[in-house]
A and B are shown apart, each in its own frame.
Chain A
Amino acid sequence: MTRLFSQFKTILTLSWRNLWRNHRRTGIMLGAISVGVWAMIFMTALMRGMVDDMLNQGISNLPGHIQIQHPEFLDDPSVVNSIDEPRGDLLAALENNGVRVWANRIKVPAVIMSERESRGINLIGIEPVSEADISGVPARISKGRFLESNQDKGLVIGAKLAERLETRLGKRVVITSQDPDNNLAERGFRVIGIYRAELAAQEESNVYAARGTLQDLLKIEGRVSQIVLVDDDYRNVESLYRRVAAATPAGLEVKPWYEIDTYLAVMFNMMDGFVLIWVIIIFLALSFGLVNTLVMAIFERVREIGLIQALGMRPGLIVYQILLESLMLLLIGLIVGNMLALVTIKPLEDGLDVSVVAEGMAMMGAGSVIYPSLTLYDVVLANVVVILLGILTSILPAWRASRLDPVRALNTH
């Protein structure tokens, strides 16, 4: 044990001092590692922030983390495929199962008409109290107000739709849809609020009215299109999904967000893989510098390596010494890189405005402000990849150094 400790101390001293023999080279390599690690973490945080935003946008557009609805509703979202408002076991499960927010919603296709234009829309009947947590629309009202009660007679439309209809706040519009008996259901609404959304398509198609008002219009008293649940984190809805599914009566369908929108699910699942690929690509660029540094460092020290072999240092210990040198370089680079990432991401927590490319972002389903998302997982991943691959790429030069012929090495000038 004493011997092992003593040997470790020897190679630790040699590694540390050898590292600083060529300040400039070590400095350049440290700079490269630090910038590489910074790029890994910073860009990952930006990407994750963007994907998070796309997912949140997508989920708020569904909306909700879990939906309960008629099995035919997703294919045919007509008023015929409505369901009873929750009661019995399902209501108890929704009330007592730690669900953060749940709400009944009506969602039917309809036509909106102004004096000048008409458009096909999604007519959404909501419960104003819970809507802030479900679609976030109340917070994005740009003119007027949001709905205030289940019997509110007003209508909230998107800014883009208002522009298309050539209407404005306070004007009347007519909504036409169908009741379950296929009779026309039609009435006039006053535009009481105009909202803005990150996605223009959402602004153009989603029109909000109070649930009770729409139930009266569509003659579906006590019935709704969907029951929508929102939990704390869209990433962890599995257990809530199982509990709610168990309490849902037969004949209803319970679906988590990732089954409702498989595109979002694919994006979510690809993100981790994408981060790993990104981190590895940056590392590969770094590894050339790292291997070159080590090879140069070994090349300059061939004679010394021959000497320590002659003095009785085992080949294995020489490998460890060079790996330790590489590890020290990597660790210092990681510390600096992590700190750089932290100090550059922190000031961007309030969002990075990318409105110059807003259209492109909107096409991808993301907003024009990116909120970098720094996760422990991504930081650990970047650090582990750099350490593991760094050590792996250092093994060959270290091994070759340990196999040097001592006589030849000693005679190298």
Chain B
Amino acid sequence: MSSIRCRQLCKTFKQGDEIITGLDHVDIDIEEGEFVCLSGPSGSGKTTLLNAIGGLDTPDSGEIHMGDIRIDRLERGPLADMRLHHIGFVFQSYNLIPVLSARENVEFVMQVQGVPAAQRSRKSLEILREVGLEGMENRRPAQLSGGQQQRVAVARAIVTHPDLVLADEPTANLDSVAASHLMDLFVELNQHHRITFVIATHDKRVMSYARRLIKMQDGKIISDEPQ
């Protein structure tokens, strides 16, 4: 899996009688190992673009290629496999599985991948230590603060070293120290493991970490500049 190529992506939503444009003929190329931030006001299409790239949502028209694979044409099963093996997601609102502990949440993707138990255990403990949650491995999400839950979600997204991490407002619920730690971690993973990051954010601090900043408005890319 390497670069991402989107061509003429269009997506509209119906809200009552109103048609809302999510993506309006978006063209974008993201190379392997890039650290990209998508910025723009609410409703500009950042999350819609992330969802489309991550195969969570299907565009009305246009093409999305991930390496040689055209993902907008994949069936549900292969699409799930692609997400499982190549993409890590960090959602704005943590999205942890409430019946699993922090460690089990982190191990979830590896377990579905079929990673042996010992390896799973070692990796999950390592990554939880890395995100500052040592000693909290066995806590359930309800026993963790918002920031801690977000760190578990990040740990889950990066523990398998996916080719691409898609993060939607990852720092929205974090204090500035936690946000800065998280971004440092992203940068480190990007630099050492060549993991591609695409982050949708309003947060100027986050944008300052990006090496490429794409601004969106009304479903269109209005600027795309290196930082």
What's the least CB distance linking B11 to chain A, in Å? 10
**Are B76 and A3 neighbours in the complex by a CB distance under 8 Å?**
no
What's the least CB distance linking A171 to chain B, in Å? 82
Q: Which residues of A contact B31 (CB under 8 A)?
A: none
Q: Contact check: which of A14, A309, A410 meets B97 at CB < 8 Å?
A: A14
What's the least CB distance linking B165 to chain A, in Å? 13
Q: Which of B35-43, B77-85, B126-134, B216-224 contacts A (4 or more CB under 8 A)?
A: B77-85
Q: Contact check: which of B51, B54, B114 meets A3 at CB < 8 Å?
A: B114
Q: Contact check: which of B82, B98, B112 meets A6 at CB < 8 Å?
A: B112
Q: Which residues of B contact A405 (CB under 8 A)?
A: 57
Inter-chain CA distance A9–B107, complex, in Å, is: 12
Chain B CB within 8 A of A314 CB? yes
Q: Contact check: which of B83, B91, B111 meets A10 at CB < 8 Å?
A: B111
In the complex formed, the residue of A with least CB distance to B97 is: A304
CB under 8 Å from chain A, chain B span 120-171: 156
**Are B97 and A312 neighbours in the complex by a CB distance under 8 Å?**
no
What's the least CB distance linking B201 to chain A, in Å? 18
Q: Contact check: which of B54, B95, B116 meets A307 at CB < 8 Å?
A: B95
Chain A CB within 8 A of B19 CB? no
Q: Which residues of A contact B89 (CB under 8 A)?
A: 310-311
Q: Contact check: which of A5, A14, A407 meets B57 at CB < 8 Å?
A: A407
Q: Which residues of B contact A309 (CB under 8 A)?
A: 56, 80
**Are B104 and A315 neighbours in the complex by a CB distance under 8 Å?**
no
**Are B81 and A311 neighbours in the complex by a CB distance under 8 Å?**
no
What's the least CB distance linking A269 to chain B, in Å? 48
Inter-chain CA distance A146–B100, complex, in Å, is: 76
In the complex formed, the residue of B with least CB distance to A15 is: B99
Given A17-B100, A311-B112, residue A303 in contact with residue B77 (CB < 8 A): no
Given A18-B99, A313-B84, A407-B56, residue A10 in contact with residue B77 (CB < 8 A): no
Q: Which residues of B contact A314 (CB under 8 A)?
A: 76-77, 80-81
Q: Which residues of A contact B81 (CB under 8 A)?
A: 312, 314
Q: Which residues of B contact A316 (CB under 8 A)?
A: 77
Chain B CB within 8 A of A125 CB? no
Inter-chain CA distance A2–B119, complex, in Å, is: 13
Q: Which residues of B contact A312 (CB under 8 A)?
A: 80-85, 87, 109, 112-113
Q: Which residues of A contact B113 (CB under 8 A)?
A: 3, 6, 312
**Are B77 and A9 neighbours in the complex by a CB distance under 8 Å?**
no
- Interface size class on chain B is 20 to 34
**Are A21 and B56 neighbours in the complex by a CB distance under 8 Å?**
no
**Are A17 and B95 neighbours in the complex by a CB distance under 8 Å?**
no
Inter-chain CA distance A14–B107, complex, in Å, is: 13
What's the least CB distance linking A328 to chain B, in Å? 14
Chain A CB within 8 A of B20 CB? no
**Are B112 and A313 neighbours in the complex by a CB distance under 8 Å?**
yes
- Max chain B C-beta neighbours (<10 A), residue from A303, A314, A315: A314
What's the least CB distance linking B49 to chain A, in Å? 12
Given A6-B111, A6-B112, residue A304 in contact with residue B77 (CB < 8 A): no
Q: Which residues of B contact A13 (CB under 8 A)?
A: 100, 104
Given A308-B97, A410-B91, residue A315 in contact with residue B85 (CB < 8 A): no
Q: Which residues of A contact B57 (CB under 8 A)?
A: 405-407
Chain B CB within 8 A of A7 CB? yes
Inter-chain CA distance A106–B85, complex, in Å, is: 87
Q: Which residues of B contact A4 (CB under 8 A)?
A: 114
Inter-chain CA distance A310–B91, complex, in Å, is: 10
**Are B111 and A410 neighbours in the complex by a CB distance under 8 Å?**
no
What's the least CB distance linking A271 to chain B, in Å? 46
CB under 8 Å from chain B, chain A span 296-352: 303-304, 307-317
Inter-chain CA distance A374–B107, complex, in Å, is: 48
**Are B111 and A7 neighbours in the complex by a CB distance under 8 Å?**
yes
**Are B116 and A2 neighbours in the complex by a CB distance under 8 Å?**
yes
Task: Fill in one digit per residue for A137-173: 1 if any B CB lies within 8 Å of its CB, else 0.
Answer: 0000000000000000000000000000000000000
Q: Which residues of A contact B91 (CB under 8 A)?
A: 307, 310, 410
In the complex formed, the residue of B with least CB distance to A3 is: B114
Q: Which residues of A contact B104 (CB under 8 A)?
A: 13
Inter-chain CA distance A403–B176, complex, in Å, is: 39
What's the least CB distance linking B167 to chain A, in Å? 13
Q: Which residues of B contact A308 (CB under 8 A)?
A: 97, 108
Chain A CB within 8 A of B115 CB? yes
Inter-chain CA distance A7–B120, complex, in Å, is: 13
What's the least CB distance linking A12 to chain B, in Å? 11
Inter-chain CA distance A233–B111, complex, in Å, is: 56
Inter-chain CA distance A309–B83, complex, in Å, is: 9
Q: Which residues of B contact A304 (CB under 8 A)?
A: 97-98
* A/B interface sample: 23 pairs, CB < 8 A: A2-B114, A3-B113, A3-B114, A6-B113, A6-B115, A6-B116, A7-B111, A7-B114, A10-B108, A13-B100, A14-B99, A14-B100, A21-B99, A310-B89, A311-B112, A311-B156, A312-B82, A312-B112, A314-B76, A314-B80, A410-B56, A410-B91, A410-B95
Q: Which residues of B are interface residues toward A (Cβ below 8 A)? A: 51, 54, 56-57, 76-77, 80-85, 87, 89, 91, 95, 97-100, 104, 108-109, 111-117, 156
Per CB-CB distance, the 6 closest pairs between chain A and chain B, nearest first, are A312-B84, A3-B114, A17-B99, A312-B83, A10-B111, A6-B114
